[in-house]
Amino acid sequence: MHDLPEALRNVPYSGARYPGAETPDCAHGLAGGANCQRYAYAVLRHFGLLIPPLRSAELWADTGATCKADPPQPLDLVLFDGGRAEGRPAGYGAHVGVHLGPDRVLHLCREIGRPAVWTYADFAARPRYARFLGAKRAVGKGGDGGSGAVRRPG
């Protein structure tokens, strides 16, 4: 977390501010808050990786901007849920975080209200996040002036 600017370390949770939300101020950064996906995408963007504004099921199914990653590496997106739900696609309503390294995930959730780093056991202990669905890696780069360079956290 120390590699993140203050604007990404102190984002309030807002379930109404998700990718594609119609909220009028949603296009103006994260000052008004974010949900887990918007937050994770902003963290990746800080490091030069761009993900389109996909909801969790769209992210899990996506093969254009992301690919499945096993095992997860730093800056991969990780998805957690409470298990498959009848009539819903895989990944529907999944919680999204950013894998930082061995047993560390940066994420934003309603329970804490601000960005936090949890272990995989912390997720497993909560029914709504108990299942690790998997990881996705950004395959495109952007926000780096076109150089293709990705700033890895250190």
CATH number where 122 lies: 3.90.1720.10
Q: Tell me which residue of 19, 22, 107, 10 sits closest to 55, measured CA to CA.
A: 19
Residue 152: pLDDT over 70: no
Per the listing, tokens 């999204």 go with: 96
- Mean local confidence (pLDDT), 97-108: 97
Inside any domain, residue 1: no
The DSSP output letter for 145 is T
Inside any domain, residue 40: yes
Per-residue pLDDT at 1: 62
Inside any domain, residue 14: yes
- Mean local confidence (pLDDT), 100-126: 96
Burial class (CB in 10 A: 0-12, 13-18, 19+), 24: exposed
Domain that holds residue 63: 6-138
Inside any domain, residue 146: no
What is the C-alpha R_g of the chain? 14
Report the domain count for the chain. Answer: 1
Q: Tell me which residue of 63, 97, 66, 69 sits closest to 81, measured CA to CA.
A: 97
Per-residue pLDDT at 18: 66
Inside any domain, residue 58: yes
Query: What global pTM score does this model have?
Result: 0.85
Inside any domain, residue 105: yes
Amino acid at 59: L
Identity of the highest mean pLDDT range in 10-19, 24-33, 95-104: 95-104
Inside any domain, residue 129: yes
Per-residue pLDDT at 45: 93
Inside any domain, residue 151: no
Question: Each residue of 43-90: pLDDT tens digit?
Answer: 999 999 999 999 999 999 999 999 999 999 999 999 999 888 888 888
